Amino acid sequence: MASNDTAPGVHIEEIASGVRTITGVATSITAFIGRAPRGPVNEPRTIPSFADFERRFGGLSNQSTMSFAVRDFFSNGGGEAVIVRVYRRGAVASGSSESGAARFALLTESRQPEVQTAVDARVRAAEEAADRLELTASAPGAWGNSLLLRVDHALPDRADRSSFNLSVRDRAMNAVESFRNVSIAADSPRRVDRVLEQESLLVRVPEGAGLPAERPGETPGETPGATPGESAASPAEDHTARRPFELGSDGVAITDDEIVGSEAERDGLFALDTVDLFNLLCIPPLAADVDVAPDTWQAAAEYCRRRRAVLIIDPPQGWSRGEQARTGIESIGVSNSHAAIYFPRIRQANPLRANQIEAFAPCGAVAGVIARTDATRGVWKAPAGLDARITGISGFSTALTDAEIGELNPLGVNCLRTLPEVDGVVWGARTREGDDRLASEWKYLPVRRTALFIEESLWRGTQWVVFEPNDEPLWAQIRLNLGAFMNGLFRQGAFEGATPREAYFVKCDRETTTQNDINLGTVNILVGFAPLKPAEFVVIRIQRVAGQIAT
């Protein structure tokens, strides 16, 4: 709008162009749900590498099939993973914490000198809760048993008698956290429970636990400022101020209940509600010999449909031959274009068992191959073929013949196979609607994933439209912005067709949005595209030409 100028002269104003660039979303962020040695429970964490998984979730564990799947994901080209750790508490053993997290008791100054042995410490910590500051490991698991704590009072002269220094050492990961000048005073800006909640990855003040009237006493035998446990006069001495008085536990094998979780509690599968975006979902087996139940696969596929993602299904352990996969595919219970199944399982060395060769779920490796294909070729390229090599494996649990692949592929089972020139490749790109009998338009995985990519990108890129005047100027801006985005994909080779007119269209005008729609506050946008479909069957016809006949 022109300004109300009163002084003669030249006045310059900037006018908005109406161009709002739509950015394509990520296509291969992979979510994993399963058991892990450590880390927050039912709190998704995004990690960029397996080294970060080792730091935050404990690395490889024979109890965690998810840990091997995450390793395979990153070793095959994966770039970003979202980890949801689930935990199942077992029966509480003597000396163990009910919550599964290690518990510590830091006795106050007036009580600390009386502590002489570990037995006395545990008795006093249990009987006189008012004379201690109680801490727990930040998450359940036996990892908390390796924590060492140290308290010292090496503070500035101006510090009051409610303040102290707290150091925590994680011996398993060789990490140390130090919190200086924390306080047990309720009105202190450095109140210890709030500081630990905001800054510590290792310990917390338990919810509902109060703070003592006195600050904790200094840890016996420790030198202020030194690493906890390294400067002790007698490192074997088991002071309460240094070691847990209740041990943490890794729990017991998880079940499908922990995986599915509750939407109301936002745990298990529904913990991903707090994640802004993920594109692939992997649920490794519950244990080395326990498969995920069909009902869980169905719930996960439905959740992926809601979140515009794709579920990667692992084959049951009992599928050891192609015939078993052919007859058992119906038992999976998922007929959804937002899911794909891969068979057979991969075989690779287990470094935790002297590199013995074992069978593992293929979901992590397949997700890594998909991520690598997206990065090098685009989401519209089928993640299969000679380029879709699986690295770090010694083979598969069963070798499939061409005849067996010919039986499984029409049923929507994506096969993994070896070829003379490569150790292992993905040799299928169909969704669970890829069964030829269904005649689905979402038969192929790249077609489904390309549609999801466009849907998510346009949904995020058109938020500015809400509450704009619903008339021709708005419709023209929509056509301009969405058309520019689709044309960019066309130029990258994402669509079939020689010209933009053959490849896609964007329609938003009086035909899509009637006066009644305008009265209802609705603007309708119609976007269409011609997807690329993989060359699944390459037919070469060879004809022998007869030699020239002399006449």
Question: For every one of its 551 residues, what pLDDT tens digit does the chain have, with 9 covering 90 and above?
Answer: 556 677 898 988 888 777 788 999 999 999 999 999 999 999 999 999 999 999 999 999 999 999 999 999 999 999 999 999 999 988 766 667 778 899 988 888 776 554 444 445 554 545 455 578 999 999 999 999 999 998 988 888 777 888 999 999 998 888 899 999 999 998 999 999 999 999 999 999 998 888 888 888 888 766 666 677 665 544 444 444 477 888 899 999 999 999 999 999 999 999 999 999 999 999 999 999 999 999 999 999 999 999 999 999 999 999 989 999 999 999 998 889 999 999 999 999 999 999 999 999 999 999 999 999 999 999 999 999 999 999 999 999 999 999 999 999 999 999 999 988 888 999 999 999 999 999 999 999 999 999 999 999 999 999 999 999 999 999 999 999 999 999 999 999 999 999 999 999 999 999 999 999 999 999 999 999 999 988 877 787 888 777 666 65
Is 452 within a domain? no
Residues 204 and 293 in one domain: no
- 64 forms beta bridges with 61
Q: Do residue 423 and residue 351 come from a single domain?
A: yes
- Look at residues 303, 312, 294, 298 and name the one whose alpha carbon lies nearest to residue 30: 312
23 falls within a domain: no
95 in the same domain as 130 = yes
Helix (H) or strand (E) segment spanning residue 506: strand 504-507
Tell me if 18 is assigned to some domain: no
The CATH number for 39's domain is 3.40.50.11780
Q: Which among 156, 152, 157 has a CA at the least distance from the CA of 106?
A: 152
- Residue 242's domain comprises 89-251
Residues 184 and 274 in one domain: no
- Between CA 310 and CA 460 the distance in angstroms is 19
Domain end point (choices 191, 220, 251) = 251
Q: Which of 351, 138, 145, 356 is nearest to 245 (CA)?
A: 145
Q: Which of 397, 422, 447 is the last residue of a domain?
A: 447
Q: Same domain for 109 and 81?
A: no
Last residue of a domain, one of 220, 251, 282: 251
* Residue 233 within a domain: yes
- Within-domain flag for 16: no
Shared domain check, 348 and 236: no
Q: Is the domain of 524 the same as that of 438?
A: no
Split into its structural domains, the chain has a count of 3
HEC profile of 240-296: CCCCCCEECCCCCCCCHHHHHCCCCCCCHHHHHHHCCCCCEEECCCCECCECCCHHH
Residues 134, 168 share a domain? yes
Judgement on whether residues 161 and 225 belong to the same structural domain of the protein: yes
Q: Are 62 and 183 in a shared domain? A: no
On whether residue 21 sits in a domain, the answer given is no
Q: Is the same domain home to 280 and 401?
A: yes
Residue 225 inside a domain? The answer is yes
DSSP state of 390: P
Show the tokens assigned to 389.
């090599």
Give yes or no: residues 427 and 470 share one domain. Answer: no
Residue 161 lies in a domain: yes
